[in-house]
Amino acid sequence: MYQTILTVLENGIFTITINRPDKLNALNAMVLTELEQAVDEVHNNPEVRSAIITGSGPKAFVAGADISEFVGLDKDAAMVLAKRGQDIYFKIENSKKPIVAAVNGFALGGGCELAMACHFRLCSENAKFGQPEVNLGLIPGYGGTQRLTHLVGKGKSMELQMTAHIVDANEALQLGLVNHVTTAESLLERTKDILTIIQSKAPIAVGKVIECVNVAVVSDSAYTNGKSGFDKEIEAFGECFGTEDMKEGTTAFMEKRKANFKGR
Ligand code: COA
C-alpha cells in the first residue's frame, strides 16, 4: 500500500495521484520511490492499458522537488538525487503504454519536469507551470533543461529557465506545453476520454509511436543506442508487420469492419 500516492485502476486507465496536498504534493524521497513503484505497475500489470498522473487537492499538481530535503546535500549527493529523478522520469517517458499528465494547479520545478516526462499534457484553467530553480540558485535536475527545450524551443526554454517566469494555462497552450486546457472539474474526464480513444487503437502500434516520437524529439544515446530517428522508424515499422494486430487491422480495413486488437 502506498502512503504518499493514490492509485485507481478503472477501464484500463491507471490514475496515479500524488497525495501530499498540505505540501502542494512536493516530491520527497518517499513520493519518488512510490511514484517509481506505480510506474512499474503501469509497465507490468497487463490490466493497465494507459495511465494518468495528477495531483491531490485543488491547488497543485506538484510544486517541485521537496526543497526541505535539499538541505545538507553536497555535490555528490545532489548528483545522485538528480540521476534518480531522471531515471524515474525516463521510465515514464519510455513507457510503451501512454502516460498523460493532468495538471490541476502548480507544476513547478520537478513538477513541471514530471509533467514534461509524460507523453502529453492537459491542464486546468488554474494551472501554473515553471522552472523557478534559478530563484534557489539551482537549475532543473530531473530533465527539465532538455525536455522544456524540446517542447517549447530553445529561445523560450532559455528565457523561462533564466527568468523563472511562471506560465499560466493559456500561455502553456500557446507554447505547446499542454495540448488542452479544461475547467478544473472536467480535467480528469477529458483526459480519460482521450485515453479511451487511444485504448481502442492497436497497443503495439501505440507503443511504437511513443518509441519513435521519443527518438524524433532527441537523437540522444539515452533513447537510440546510437541509431538515428529514421533508422529507428524503419525498424519499428518492420516490427509492426510481425504482429497479429497489424494483420487484424489491415484485414478489418479491407473487410470494412472494426478491428479487434489483442496487443499481440
Ligand atoms: N518543497 C517543499 N515544500 C513545499 C514546496 C516544495 N517545493 N512547495 C510548497 N511547499 C510547502 C510550503 O512550504 C508550505 O508548507 P507549510 O504549510 O508547512 O509552510 C505548503 O507547501 C504550502 O505552500 P505555500 O508556500 O504556503 O503556498 P502558497 O500558495 O503561498 O505558494 C507556491 C505556492 C507554489 C508559489 C510556493 O509554495 C512555492 O514557491 N513553492 C516552491 C516552488 C519551487 O521553487 N519549486 C521548485 C523546487 S526545485
Strand partners of residue 8 = 15
Give yes or no for residue 142 CB within 6 A of ligand 1: no
Domains and CATH numbers, the chain: 5-197 (3.90.226.10), 201-254 (1.10.12)
Give yes or no for residue 24 CB within 6 A of ligand 1: yes
Inter-axis angle of helices 75-93 and 110-117, to 10 degrees?
30
> pLDDT value at position 221?
65
Which listed residue (133, 159, 239, 244) is catalytic? 133
Do residues 64 and 23 lie in contact, with contact meaning Cβ atoms separated by under 8 Å? no
Neighbours of 167 (CB within 10 A): 22
> Mean pLDDT score of the chain, rounded to an integer?
93
Nearest CA to ligand 1 atom 28: 24
> pLDDT value at position 216?
82
| Residues of the chain under the 50 pLDDT cut | none
- Least Cα distance to 262 among 212, 200, 197 occurs for 200
pLDDT in tens, 112-126: 999 999 999 999 999
Give yes or no for residue 141 CB within 6 A of ligand 1: no
133 is catalytic: yes
Do residues 152 and 176 lie in contact, with contact meaning Cβ atoms separated by under 8 Å? yes
pTM above 0.85, yes or no: yes
> pLDDT value at position 91?
96
Backbone angles phi, psi at 121, to 5 degrees: -135, 140
Which numbered atom of ligand 1 lies nearest the CA of 135? 44
> pLDDT value at position 235?
78
> pLDDT value at position 225?
67
> pLDDT value at position 76?
86
Nearest CA to ligand 1 atom 30: 24
